[in-house]
Structure 1
Amino acid sequence: MKAKTKAVLISALLFPGLGHFVLKRAMRGCLFIVPTLLAIGVLLRTTLTLADQLVAEIQSGALPLDVPVIMARISASGGDDASTNLASLVLVACWLGAILDAWWLARNQ
């Protein structure tokens, strides 16, 4: 398998920026890896905070153990605020950018 194909597949299927390591461009790959990890951290923190709140409400009896009620509570939680929207945008942009950049770098080597 060619390095170009390997780099694009690794960036597309495993993690954005990892394909750059195949192309011996580690620093450039880190430009995709670091923001992606930060975005995942923000999304994970938001998700775990909401899950912790839901578990506490269910255990206290304030929220019944009923799927439609829990789904309504999740929708009303405001989890789709500016920080999570920005983190999602950064995640998608880094992933697509890493794929395109790995392809472009491999093509021009």
Structure 2
Amino acid sequence: MTREIKTLLLNTFVCPGSGHLWLGKKWAGWSMIIITIISLLFILSDVISLSQQVSQQLLNGTIPLDFMAILAEIENKTLSLNGLKLSLLLLISAWTVSILDSIRMLMIKTK
């Protein structure tokens, strides 16, 4: 297995940028890892905020203790979170760029 294939596997299954670090491309690797961590932190903060809001509504009695009612409330609140959509887009784009760059390095190596 070549170094480029290992890089592709690391970037795909471990973390975006980890394969670049393994190859010694520190700027590319660390920038992708930092973007991934920042987007994950924003996603986590949005999810925690959403869960606290829903749990508070459950404790107040504004949402009945019915699974479908809770699910509908979570869905309604999730659709209004623009920051969550942006964070997910940032995470997916970092992962995609990392994978595509690994494929590009593999294509250059095989020529």
Report the TM-score when normalising by structure 2. Answer: 0.86
% same residue: 26
The question of whether the paired residues in 1 share the 8 Å contact of 2:21 and 2:30 is answered with no
- Provide, for residues 37-89 of structure 1, a one-character-per-residue CA deviation record: whole Å limited to 9, x for no partner: 11111111111101111112212322222111011111221544332221111
Q: Give the count of matched residue pairs.
A: 109
In structure 2, C-alpha distance between the alignment counterparts of 1:107 and 1:29, rounded to whole Å: 19
Q: 1:25 to 1:107 in 2, by over 3 A?
A: farther
Q: Which residue in the other structure is 1:2 paired with?
A: 2
Question: Which stretch has the larger CA shift, 58-67 or 33-42?
Answer: 58-67
In structure 1, C-alpha distance between the alignment counterparts of 2:85 and 2:99, rounded to whole Å: 21
Q: Which residue in the other structure is 1:14 paired with?
A: 14
In structure 1, C-alpha distance between the alignment counterparts of 2:81 and 2:56, rounded to whole Å: 22
Correspondence 1:67 to 2:60: no
In structure 1, C-alpha distance between the alignment counterparts of 2:80 and 2:95, rounded to whole Å: 21
Regions of 4+ moved over 6 Å: none
The question of whether the paired residues in 2 share the 8 Å contact of 1:58 and 1:64 is answered with yes
SS in 2 for 1:95: helix
Report the TM-score when normalising by structure 1. Answer: 0.87
Q: Which amino acid aligns with 2:99?
A: I
Q: Which amino acid aligns with 1:47?
A: V
Q: Which residue in the other structure is 1:95 paired with?
A: 95
